[in-house]
Amino acid sequence: MHHPIPLSRSSALRIPLMASTVRAGFPSPADDYVQDNINLNTLLVDDPDCTFLMMASNDAIHGIFKGDYVLIDKARTPVHGNVVVAAHEESFVLRRLHKQQGMLALLADAPGYPMIPAEGDYTLQIWGVVIAVVRRLV
């Protein structure tokens, strides 16, 4: 994981919200009506002071690919099943939080990544909960 990028309160990005939904087929030309503009900060960010972007550096979690940006909320309380960013051995890792019988561990969805237990010799700090993924398609 790359270093966190803080969000600014003044960074308002307004994108037109179309009135219609999108289908996997061909849209109707009559659906070109813009309903409103949305601010992505308002849509995605609860607390700008606690929200950061980081770039994923691997594909350990299904649906998040190397080069994707993950939006992280440091104020959210992580729960079982959340995708989290954790500080582990002087770097950041992107893993799924697993709680079972009072034990905590960080697991990858993809094979080939070791389980990171939250006990013993491991230094582990949950840094934040991933709340969204940003990916460029072209």
What's the CA gap between 109 and 134, in Å, rounded?
Answer: 19
What's the CA gap between 35 and 2, in Å, rounded?
Answer: 37
Cα dihedral sign, 118-120-124-126: positive
Q: What is the pLDDT along the chain (138 residues), one digit of tens a residue?
A: 666 666 665 566 565 655 555 566 565 665 566 677 777 888 888 888 888 889 999 999 999 999 999 999 999 999 999 999 998 888 899 999 998 888 889 999 999 999 998 776 666 789 999 999 999 888
pLDDT computed for residue 100 by the predictor: 82
pLDDT computed for residue 12 by the predictor: 64
DSSP secondary structure string for all residues of 60-77: -STT--TT-EEEEETTSP
What's the CA gap between 134 and 119, in Å, rounded?
Answer: 32
To 10 degrees, the CA torsion angle through 2, 104, 107, 90?
30
63 touches 128 (CB < 8 A): no
pLDDT computed for residue 117 by the predictor: 86
65 touches 94 (CB < 8 A): no
pLDDT computed for residue 123 by the predictor: 64
What's the CA gap between 8 and 30, in Å, rounded?
Answer: 37
Domain holding 17, by residue range, is: 1-138
Two tokens at 117? Answer: 């237990």
- What CATH number is given to the structural domain containing 124? 2.10.109.10
pLDDT computed for residue 22 by the predictor: 58
Structural domain count, the chain = 1
